Amino acid sequence: MIGSIYPFFDSLAFALIFGGTIIASLLPATGRDARRALGALKPFLRARPARDAVTAEAAVRRIQRISEYKGTICADWVKTPVDFVHRAACRLADADGREAFETWAREELEDRKARHGAAIAFWRHAGDVAPAIGMIGTVLGLVGMFASMNDPTAMGPAMAVAMLSTLYGLVIAYIVAGPIAARLERLSDAERGWQVRTVERLVALARAEEDEHRGWRERALRRVG
């Protein structure tokens, strides 16, 4: 098995293409973007947005039941393993009105979109640049091959670099970086979907409470008047 794979490995081509792709991906990115891209590999393997959506919906229903009797100020009583819902419940309980909570939620979702977008862009750029780095390796290998035409023993390694460089570039683009970027984007869209629904329901809850309080004040003023 190892013998059948060995012809497809060349340390020079491997270092050139993988190293070149990493460098070319890091140059337009910030250090934070690169860390986010690597950190995204954990949710890439473990994220379950459908499961989180079900858990979030159950938590919101509990928040609604508590709020009916004690108000949104007690929303943080609800415990949930989903971090976003926990933070949203705490913010709802502490917020100075619906508008303050809406502002926090909008900024939170926008910040999340930027973080995820940076990680996805990093992997997508790696997938885009890898074939080009592979072509550079191929050209260098061909140059080395033509430069050693008088030495048949040197032509083989140069030819291997030329051919394997293209292969490695395609592997990175279409088997590694490209699929990672596509899956991260799908996970991000699915996660954002249930988070937006969660925020909308909590905002509606805060709005209903404000309307109720406003109605009490208006009725009290009419009685006094």
Position 192 pLDDT exceeds 70: yes
State what percent of residues in the chain have pLDDT above 70: 91
Mean pLDDT of 34-48: 89
Mean pLDDT of 190-203: 94
Confidence of residue 150 (pLDDT cuts 50, 70, 90): confident
Confidence of residue 225 (pLDDT cuts 50, 70, 90): low
Confidence of residue 61 (pLDDT cuts 50, 70, 90): very high
* Domain-wise residue ranges, the chain: 11-22+49-208
Mean pLDDT of 177-191: 95
Residue 101 and residue 92 in contact, taking contact as beta carbons nearer than 8 Å? yes
Position 158 pLDDT exceeds 90: no
Residue 99 and residue 209 in contact, taking contact as beta carbons nearer than 8 Å? no
Higher pLDDT, 129 or 155: 129
